[in-house]
Homo-oligomer: A and B are copies of this chain.
Amino acid sequence: MKSHQTTIIDIARELNLSKSTVSRALTGHPNVKQQTREAVLALAEKMEYQRNQMSISLITNKTKTIGIIVPEFVTSFFSQVIIGAQEEARKSDYNVLISQCNEDYNTEVDNAQLMMRNRVDGIIVSLTKETKNFDHLRTFQRRGIPIVFFNRVCEEIMAPKVIVNDYDAAFKAVEHLIKTGKKRIAHLAGPPSLAISRKRQNGYIDALKKHNLPIDEDLIIGYDLNMSKVKIYIKHFMDMDNPPDGLFAINDPTAMEAMQVIKQLGKRIPEDIGVVGFSNDYASQFAEPSLTTVAVPVNEMGKTAVKLLMDMIDKDPADWKLLVKVLDTELIVRNSTVRKA
């Protein structure tokens, strides 16, 4: 079934003009008589003409589309980054092709190839927790298609990155727990494959060190972000002879799941154990107790990534800058660490 889309030829025929004149009128080229232009625009409007992006892309070798690859879509984090990214892209009249990977490496590779086939002008990427091979991404650079990483960045590929001050934020988060009087703080960390896991863990460790608290390896568990495991680890923690009185979790979903388990075990938050998350997920404000967390400027992260990408598109790869933008975070203190009256 061939759908009928109005073409330039349709307009040209109707107005008895050449294709090129119509094209010029439509694209705002100066060399068109005012009267002709008006006639063309009026008819285009009437016939609901929408230029065919395909043919233009074929000529210009530009699709005016950027790809966004994110690891998951369940928590609000990446959705919100995407909102920012999309807003920024729209400013430059760019579209956005979005793919989420269900935290699956093979899906990420598929998505990358899909982007390739669709000849996106650039991509912004946050890796799945599984991604350890980066060939599918290197292909882009090899072809002069720019990449910008955000949040879960790849340290082995030379490309601009947008991250937050993970180390500092973690440091402050843990320091906050310490200031509320906690002395045995556990850390439910992310998989070591992710740089953010390592940085946050380092922040955690250094905060303890600064305050002369012992580093107890038993209190640090790196896990694969598979939420169903949180229960096991938290029970493990709380079953200890000397259970922790504080918990710093790699992200908010983990922290909230942990709080569920802690409450089931009959422990009070924050009295028995204070909890801090990371990312300020949409849900964290509603949790009970509301979750103390590190607010990441998600919207800005998306915007910044796209801005950096836009600076690379149409530039010679030799001129690409290797900026690493570090965005500031803010510790949001809520009831999971400091109970308000």
Contacts and interface: CB of A to CB of B under 8 A. Distances in A.
Interface of A: 1-5, 48, 50-55, 57-58, 61, 63, 65, 73-76, 79-80, 82-83, 86, 90, 95-100, 102, 110, 113-114, 116-119, 139, 142-145, 256, 259-260, 281-289, 314-317
Contacts of A260: 285-286
Contacts of A90: 110
Contacts of A1: 144, 314-317
B48 A119 contact: no
Contacts of A58: 52, 54-55, 58
Contact of A74 (B76, B143, B145, B316): B76
A239 to B, nearest CB: 23
Mostly helix, strand, loop or mixed at chain A's interface?
A: mixed
A204 to B, nearest CB: 23
A136 to B, nearest CB: 10
B75 A282 contact: yes
Integer count of this chain's copies in the complex = 2
A230 B48 CA distance: 41
B143 A3 contact: yes
Given A54-B58, A58-B58, A5 B286 contact: no
Contacts of A2: 61, 144
Contact of A283 (B97, B139, B286, B316): B286
A117 B48 CA distance: 11
A314 B3 CA distance: 9
Nearest to A285: B260
Contacts of A256: 286
Nearest to A72: B83
A100 B76 CA distance: 14
Nearest to A291: B286
Q: Top 10 nearest A-B pairs by Cβ distance?
A: A288-B288, A283-B283, A3-B144, A50-B116, A256-B286, A286-B287, A54-B57, A98-B98, A73-B79, A53-B117
Contacts of A97: 95-97
9 contacts: A2-B61, A5-B143, A50-B113, A50-B116, A54-B118, A97-B97, A286-B286, A287-B287, A288-B288
Q: Which of A3, A285, A317 is packed against the most chain B CB atoms within 10 Å?
A: A3
A282 B65 CA distance: 30
Contact of A54 (B54, B73, B110, B142): B54
Given A1-B317, A73-B79, A73-B83, 7 more contacts: A5-B143, A51-B117, A52-B117, A83-B102, A97-B97, A260-B286, A283-B286
A53 B3 contact: no
